[in-house]
Amino acid sequence: MRHTIKARPRYALVLLLISLPVAMSCSSSSSGHHSDRSAVQGERTSGNVTTAGANPAASPAPNPAADPAADPAAVPGASPAAPGALSIDPVVTPANVGGNEVNALVVHVGVRNFQAINYTMSTLTGIPTTNAAVAATYADQNSALPTETDVKSFVGSSQVAVFKLAVEYCNALMTDNTKATAFFGATNINDTPANVFTAAGTKAISETLITKLWGANLSTLPPLDQSSGILSQLIKDLLTGKDNGNKAVTTGVLVGACTTVLGAAPVTIY
């Protein structure tokens, strides 16, 4: 049985907003299914914008004296990149990129394409891609999932498709008692909400979801306490007005919490 939860979207959004800037500062080191991702294409140098992989020796250093536009101080609003910010090279202005600053940005991260997202979610949850509900949703949504690894190609419809696929993987995981128990280990999830979602239980569930779906002790992620605290608050909100004596509510809340984490940037961006 599929469980539908009306969650307050602001917490899921907060998780995405917290994780996205951090995840986008990471290099392209990622786990699993590299064979399903195409390499970021192209090495080109155009004006002041040099693409990733270009040979710095092939492009003379900007000379502020000869070209005022090459001096960040001469461009209104330009400033040196802060530590950990996305690398852009070196100044992007409407004058030298035709007014399309976003496309001119040189980013050193990528987004998993439709196949890699599907395989990644399968690996993380232990649910095979051949699961009937998963396969049906993937067939219906794969055209909306990213078709390339350029993170700038990721649009709103891509996130909607990611979310829908995450719902099916999480629903399949949480409704399979054997797989769910193995996923959460010693944490009790086979009981009523009143017994499962105690303060300690909620914290353990949140931390398990984050560490198993995002990873543990990674410098590219927010602090675990911060992420788990937000997820724990979401779980509390999902329980508002629900029957704390109904085991089905436990499963539904677990599906909602799992979907929030599995559909977030640390899973789709590498």
Sequence-distant (6+) residues with CB within 8 A of 162 are 117, 145, 263, 268
**3-state secondary structure (DSSP) of residue 225:** helix
| Tens-place pLDDT, residues 106-154 | 666 788 999 999 999 999 999 999 999 999 999 999 999 999 888 888 8
- Between 54 and 206, the more confident residue is 206
DSSP string, 223-267: -HHHHHHHHHHHHHHHHTTS-TT-HHHHHHHHHHHHHHHHTSHHH
How close are the terminal C-alpha atoms of the chain, in Å?
A: 33
Residue with tokens 């599906």: 255
Measure the CA–CA gap between 17 and 112, rounded to whole angstroms: 18
pTM above 0.85, yes or no: no
What is the model's pLDDT at position 108?
67
Domain boundaries, the chain: 9-28+110-268, 45-104
**3-state secondary structure (DSSP) of residue 269:** strand
| Tens-place pLDDT, residues 163-212 | 999 999 999 999 999 999 999 998 989 999 999 999 999 999 999 999 99
Point out the least confidently predicted range of 31-45, 122-136, 143-157, 214-228: 31-45
Tokens standing for 29?
A: 């080191």
